[in-house]
Amino acid sequence: MIDVLKMRVPLIKGFFVIFQVFLGTAIVGTAALLLADHFGVLEFVKPYVVMSGSMEPAVRLGSVVVVRPQSSYSSNDVVTYAPNGDKEKPVTHRILFKSYPDGITQAPVYLTKGDANEDFDRAAVSAKDVIGKSLFVIPFLGYVVNFAKQPYGFIFLVIVPATIVIYEEFKFLGKELSIFLMNSSSWLSARISKKNGIRLRRGINLLSKREKGVPKAAAVVPVIGTILVLSAFTGAFFSDTEQSSGNVFSAAESFGPPIANHLVINEVYYDVAPGKGDEGDSANPDEWVELYNPTSSPVDIKDWSIGDDEDGDNVSSAEKIIPPGGFALIAKSNSTWNNWDEDPDADKIPIGDKIGNGLANAGDTVILLDDNGAEVDRMSWGNDTSGFTSGCASSCPTVAEGHSLERDPDGVDTNTAADFVDRTTPTPGT
């Protein structure tokens, strides 16, 4: 048993040394990164503390995430972004969908979501507000960071350990000085008496023999504390603190209006311009409606209906899936799209008849019903005020000929007329 214990002691000491070296390297490397970031040495990376659980388990609460700007971002990238350009409250979430509301030649917008959240973030993220993509994550270091910023953290991590170490070092120094003086005295005595002297030690060892085996654990603490506090004093501790909440609704309340958790009527083109087809009062109108799926699940619109009253026209008698982040374009016939440069990925659904009785330019409503006849979404314009809970005092907003009404951003839903904007150049399928 004693032999076994003797074998295990060096092994335990070895693991302890490895752990100390690893911890110290991680802390020193992170502190160097933060200082370099502050002084502009490394402009291509940014470190942040994550103080929410919205990205569990990929990015755990209390982690440090290091991000790097990219020329473009794709679905499934974990990014840090500034909601509405507010870099004081950055959010680290995952991109689920990428869309081009102003056309594929313009900058994209992203729909993001925390892995631990059930719904999308309330507002789409513009490309200019994305700070960077996550390169790597250091778990739990954020707790140490925040602790060191507090007065009691400073005392615990720096003052107390530093006092202990300084005391120990002075004690060892005093002991070595005593030995040095004794040896010097003996050497002088030997020279004077012409006897064999005691060879003078050439160096002063600040650690006694019993301290040489394993580095003292106490030495690690002040190293960590010193690095952290030094970083804080130089103003380089962290660029900011990531503050998104595990509850996306309360966290994103100030970031923008909410994104719907259901299929929405996203864009309506009701006042057809010359060269784009026929008006709604003709036999073959070229009006169209764009549906959008802002949720994280596919939606089958088989046996759904759409119209300008509660008795809409059947959208599709066969299975018709709109994927997450996907669009569907509804018109009387596919010949409508001969006049448009629409997104080829958008599903085009000809319903074989007018949308309702034809969409009236002076005012009308569009209602989307599911396969049970339950209302999923509605909107209106002009003298029809039934589409919204507010924003239409005597009438709802209208648009000029050739324009469209579109949600901005895609999928936004506050049940008010403010959800829609006048789109001078309609964007079917994007």
Amino acid at 342: E
**3-state SS, residue 331:** strand
Question: Same domain for 140 and 284?
Answer: no
Q: Is the pLDDT of residue 429 over 60?
A: yes
- The torsion angles phi and psi of 306, rounded to 5 degrees, stand at -140, 145
Structure token pair of residue 425: 């150049």
Q: Where are the beta strands (DSSP E) in 100-254?
A: 109-113, 125-126, 130-138, 241-242
Residue 407 lies in a domain: yes
d(CA 342, CA 303): 25
Cα three-residue angle 21-25-27, rounded to 5 degrees: 120
What's the pLDDT tens digit per position in 121-165? 777 888 889 989 988 888 877 676 666 666 666 677 666 766 776
Q: Which of 226, 256, 286 is the last residue of a domain?
A: 256
Question: In angstroms, how far is the first alpha carbon of the chain from the final one?
Answer: 74
Identify whether residues 77 and 213 lie together within a single domain: yes
CATH number of the structural domain spanning residue 184: 2.10.109.10
In a domain? residue 50: yes
The per-residue pLDDT for range 49-91, each reduced to its tens digit, is: 777 778 888 888 778 888 888 888 988 899 989 887 777 778 8
Ranges 5-9, 276-280, 294-298, 331-335: which has the least confidence: 5-9
Identify whether 428 is part of a domain: no
**168 & 230 share domain:** yes
Kindly state whether residues 274 and 312 are assigned to the same domain.
yes
- Say what the pLDDT of residue 366 is: 95
- Cis preceding linkage at 409, omega within 30: yes
Which H helix or E strand runs over 420?
A: strand 420-423
Domain shared by 248 and 282, yes or no: no
Last residue of a domain, one of 256, 273, 307: 256
- Say how far apart CA 170 and CA 175 lie, in whole Å: 8
The whole domain housing 5 covers 1-256
The mean per-residue pLDDT over the stretch 188-195 comes to 62
* More reliable by pLDDT, 177 or 372: 372
Give the pLDDT confidence of 200-214 residue by residue, as tens digits. Answer: 444 444 444 444 444
Q: Which two tokens stand for residue 351?
A: 């319903």
Domain assignment present for 430: no
Tokens of 305: 């209906």
pTM of the model: 0.47
> Which pLDDT value is given to residue 255?
37
Task: Decide if 169 is inside a domain.
Answer: yes
Task: Quickly tell me which residue has 């958790």 as its tokens.
Answer: 261
Are 78 and 167 in the same domain?
yes
The answer to whether 100 and 41 are in contact (CB under 8 A) is: no
Q: Show which residues are catalytic.
A: 52
> What is the domain-level CATH number for residue 342?
2.60.40.1260
If you average pLDDT over residues 176-187, what whole number do you get? Answer: 72
Q: How far is CA 207 from CA 167, 168, 176, 215, 218, in A?
A: 13, 9, 9, 10, 14
Which amino acid is present at 329? L
Contact status, residue 136 vs residue 74, Cβ threshold 8 Å = no
Q: 50 and 86 in one domain?
A: yes
| Phi and psi angles of residue 133, each rounded to the nearest 5 degrees, phi first | -95, 140
Let me know whether 327 and 223 are in one domain.
no
Angle 278-284-288 (CA atoms, 0-180°, nearest 5)?
70
Task: Let me know if residue 371 belongs to a domain.
Answer: yes
What domain count does the chain have? 2
Instruction: Tell me if 58 is assigned to some domain.
Output: yes
294, 343, 296, 351: which is closest to 320 by C-alpha? 351
Assess if residue 429 is contained within a domain.
no
Confidence category of residue 38, pLDDT binned at 50, 70, 90:
low
Residue 232: other Cβ atoms inside 10 A: 16
Domain boundary among 233, 256, 279: 256
Judge if the upstream peptide bond of residue 350 is cis by omega within 30 degrees of 0: no
Q: Which amino acid, one-letter code, is at 358? A: G
Whether 126 and 145 map to the same domain: the answer is: yes
**pLDDT tens digits, one per residue of 226-282:** 554 444 443 333 333 344 333 332 233 333 457 788 999 999 999 999 988 887 667
Give me the pLDDT at residue 190, please.
64
Say which amino acid occupies 205. N
User: pLDDT at position 279, please?
Assistant: 72
Asked whether residue 291 falls in the same domain as residue 236, the answer is no
The mean pLDDT of the chain is: 75
- Of 286, 293, 295, 302, which is closest to residue 265 (Cα–Cα)? 293
Average pLDDT for 278-302: 86
Whole-angstrom Cα distance, residue 153 to residue 139? Answer: 19
49 and 113 belong to one structural domain: yes
% pLDDT > 70, the chain = 67
What is the chain's alpha carbon radius of gyration, rounded to the nearest angstrom? 34
Type of residue numbered 217 = A
Query: Are 116 and 252 a contacting pair, CB within 8 Å?
Result: no
What the block records as the tokens of 283 is 């036999």
Q: What is the pLDDT of residue 332?
A: 92
Same structural domain, 279 and 249: no
